[in-house]
Chains A and B, each alone.
Chain A
Amino acid sequence: MRNDDWKKVSRLVSKKSLWMVHFCTGCGAMEMPPVMTSRYDMERFGIAPMATPRQADVLLITGYLSIKTLKRVVQVYEQMRDPKYVIGFGSCTINGGMYWDSYNTIKDLSKYIPVDLYIAGCMPRPEAIMDAFLKLMEMIEKGEAIGWKKYHKYYDQYKRNQRMAFSYRLDEVQDIKEDDAK
């Protein structure tokens, strides 16, 4: 069997077993219980909640992220093993949502970690979440969910953005920008 075929089989099987770790920030965490329990039952697609990022494949960012939380999210994301996927919930992760003018939340999650899939809504309904998972599975099968590859490829840029977000003084931001210029 050629390597490509093997990869295809591997993707085909792996998509049926998505273990997720949900980072419960914001209000999106409330949408998870109905998805997991008997009303929608995501387990029928092989999706199961896991306790630690070491075991998980999918990271769910369920709402807005403050700068402080972003630090933890990056730590958790880096502890997950490849291949790994990120789903951003709701408008907060897309453009800040109702926190669009807040001084201490991030506005665009994909600047800091690669996001494979966004779910629009404030908050998205469980149907939308189910739909997102099915979409992610489809993407995995086609080999389009390549966020983890992007993170490896553009690691420096992601790190730079993260450092920019973490630094709370303007002169630190200036230093980072000067470093980039060199």
Chain B
Amino acid sequence: MILEAFGVMLLAVIVVLALDRYPRIAAAVAIIASLLPLFALTSWAGIMGISLPSFLAPLEFESSLVYNLGPGTLNLAITPLGWFFLLLLATSFPLALLFASSFVRNRAGGFYAGMLLTMLGSFGVLLARDALTFFLFWEIMSWSILAMVLRGGDRRAIVSYLSFGSLSAMLLLFGFMMLYFKTGTFLFGDMHLDTSLTTLVALSMIVAGLAVKGALMPLHVWAPHVYSRSEEPFVAFLSGGLSKLGYFGMLLFMYGIAGLSLLSSWGTFRDVSYFGYALAVIGAFTAFAGTVLAVMQDDLRKLLAYSSVGQLGYIAIGIGIGTPLALTGALFQALNHTFFKAVLFLAAGAVYYRTGKWKISELGGLGYRMPFTFLAALFAIFALAAIPITSGFAAKWLLYEAAIEKKFLFVTPIMLIAGVGAFLYAYKILYGVFLGEPRYDVKEAPISQLVAMWLLVLPLVIFLIFPGWVADLAAPILSEYGMQPIPHTPYVITTNLAAYNTLAVIFALMGALLVSLILYKWKPQEVVPHEDNYLAGEPPELYEYISMHAASNYYEPFEDVFGPVFRRGAERAWEIILAAAEFLGNGARRLYTGLTQDYSIYILLFFLILVGWWLLW
């Protein structure tokens, strides 16, 4: 059924391209085709030890497939790790399409075709069991993302994505080739790596290539441009779903193929391999810098993009630390980030759909106008800021515990302070867009957009109550890596250091809310219009001349302190590298003078060096 699924999705791509003029029909076709990965997911639920009723799994997918494709073979099989990441992608993908059905109007066929191709590519990446299949599907995915970026039409986004995408492809290809020459096989199952330097270089290259997609600093430069200049349903899927493929690849190569003992063979520091330690430090830096940069943005999409970069950094920290606790935390964070960031991007899209504005300082007061969008975004923001009334807290908590357990003295405070920084930009979104002075008299978002957002909020609530279920999902993945799952029940997660009991939190919160509600409802109140506001007694007639929305340059004192250090730092660094390369290239160009005698001198010099080297050696 896997091949048929690919075939049907390709067919759907052609159909939606043909249906370019009928966006609604195209959306319907795309949504039906997008259900295939979901059915594959439910059909494979058995390998995670989940038994689903048969009506949820109407199609039967084989668990592995070897297909001869002329010059090579496609090796596909489902693994617990692939299943977990398929869960994230396959559930958020149809909802992004559902949102798009009312959001995308012009050239809709191309949009759905590109979306389906990215999903097709990532489906293949998740199932790939050899390096070439992985690379093939990875490139399908990457190039279809480029097609979607081209639709946005922003030059900076296209150039940065293209350059970093090709860098990523080069690094991956080099890495795979080095592994091939080392082991003589592309099959993941047969790769038995040794502790040589070549393997280390190959692994580092692969991880760096994957980090481009995962938007780890300093390879994140493309992400803010692309996230802020493409259509929101696509960005929701890109930031929520596709960026996780980088971390899927890291888990696959670092723990699935190389293994913990191999990583540790290159030296350890307090039982954490240097390799992982470096990744964790980069992740912590990414988390902090991404957060600081997010606080400084005024464009809603840019803010969410940098917040994405920051939140993805936490996953890298978890993967770097590499204990069962940390890996569970990383997987949990990946799951949370998929849903809350998708909701936030979709909510930004819904706001844009109604108001046509992206700038936070130009929006305001939409909370009373679009209450359901606001509530969905509020839940997502609670998850983003790791407030313990959504599942966001459990993931961060696992990562903090893992870092403390491994005595990461300097990474842990950075993680924690990045978590506090998340409050800052979270409140900037809340205040700038949804609270404050109502400026737009708009309607609530269309029903399809609301359904998409609220279905994405659902997992955040479910995994708040049952964080143990994520630990259950992580258990088969950990056992593949030869690790023990963390001790847990559905409600309580226990570590060496402490425990987190969600039921206690929820019941206490419910009780406290109930009591304060009674205390609060005791006295009657009247609702006054927004104009009745204390402004040192200024009468309301003057309000049309005064903007009461204080959202532009909201964190100005903060920017004064951090701005000089962080603003455009990474881009400037890359520009310096670019200038150096240009300088060297220009110098090299001078060698080609077009004169025969110069070339003969070069040849002579070359031979002299060759002879000299031979003599000296």
**A residues neighboring B (CB under 8 Å):** 23, 52-54, 71-73, 75-76, 79
Contacts and interface: CB of A to CB of B under 8 A. Distances in A.
Given A53-B537, A54-B534, A79-B532, 5 more contacts: A53-B534, A71-B539, A72-B538, A76-B537, A79-B534
A72 B534 contact: no
Contacts of A54: 534
A76 B539 CA distance: 9
Nearest to B528: A79
Interface string B526-558: 000000101011111000000000000000000
Contacts of A23: 537
A76 B534 CA distance: 8
B528 to A, nearest CB: 9
A53 B536 CA distance: 9
Contacts of A75: 537-540
A73 B537 CA distance: 7
Q: Nearest 10 pairs between A and B by C-beta?
A: A72-B537, A76-B537, A52-B534, A75-B537, A75-B539, A71-B539, A54-B534, A79-B534, A53-B534, A79-B532
Contacts of A76: 537
Interface string B61-89: 00000000000000000000000000000
- Most central of A23, A54, A75 by chain B CB within 10 Å: A75
Nearest to A71: B539
Dominant secondary structure at the A interface: helix
Contacts of B540: 75
Nearest to B533: A79
Contacts of A71: 537, 539
B435 to A, nearest CB: 18
- Most central of A54, A72, A73 by chain B CB within 10 Å: A72
A72 B539 contact: yes
A54 B528 CA distance: 12
Nearest to B540: A75
A150 B537 CA distance: 22
Nearest to A54: B534
Contacts of B536: 72
Contacts of B532: 79
Dominant secondary structure at the B interface: loop
Interface of B: 532, 534, 536-540
A99 to B, nearest CB: 21
A72 B541 CA distance: 12
Contacts of B534: 52-54, 79
B1 to A, nearest CB: 65
- Most central of B537, B538, B539 by chain A CB within 10 Å: B537
A70 B260 CA distance: 77
Contacts of A79: 532, 534
A76 B533 CA distance: 10
A168 B320 CA distance: 75
A75 B528 CA distance: 14
Contacts of B539: 71-72, 75
6 contacts: A23-B537, A54-B534, A72-B538, A75-B537, A75-B540, A79-B534
B545 to A, nearest CB: 16
A72 B540 CA distance: 10
Contacts of B537: 23, 53, 71-73, 75-76
A180 B509 CA distance: 57
A79 B538 CA distance: 11
A71 B539 CA distance: 7
Nearest to A72: B537
Nearest to A78: B532
Nearest to A76: B537
Contacts of A73: 537
A60 B539 CA distance: 19
A34 B242 CA distance: 67
B432 to A, nearest CB: 23
A73 B539 CA distance: 10
B539 to A, nearest CB: 5
Contacts of B538: 72, 75
A75 B538 CA distance: 7
A176 B532 CA distance: 25
Nearest to A79: B534
A141 B539 CA distance: 34
A73 B538 CA distance: 9
A105 B423 CA distance: 50
A61 to B, nearest CB: 12
Contacts of A53: 534, 537
B75 to A, nearest CB: 69
Contacts of A52: 534
B531 to A, nearest CB: 11
A171 to B, nearest CB: 21
A24 B533 CA distance: 20
A79 B539 CA distance: 11
B538 to A, nearest CB: 7
Nearest to A166: B539
A103 to B, nearest CB: 21
A155 to B, nearest CB: 15
Nearest to A51: B534
B255 to A, nearest CB: 57
Nearest to A23: B537
A150 B538 CA distance: 24
Nearest to B535: A75
Nearest to B526: A81
A85 to B, nearest CB: 18
A8 B499 CA distance: 51
A53 B535 CA distance: 10
Contacts of A72: 536-539
A71 B542 CA distance: 12
Nearest to B536: A72
A75 to B, nearest CB: 5
A23 B536 CA distance: 10
B532 to A, nearest CB: 7
A67 to B, nearest CB: 12
B540 to A, nearest CB: 8
B27 to A, nearest CB: 49
B358 to A, nearest CB: 34
B546 to A, nearest CB: 14
A52 B532 CA distance: 13
A87 B537 CA distance: 18
A54 B535 CA distance: 11
Nearest to B525: A81
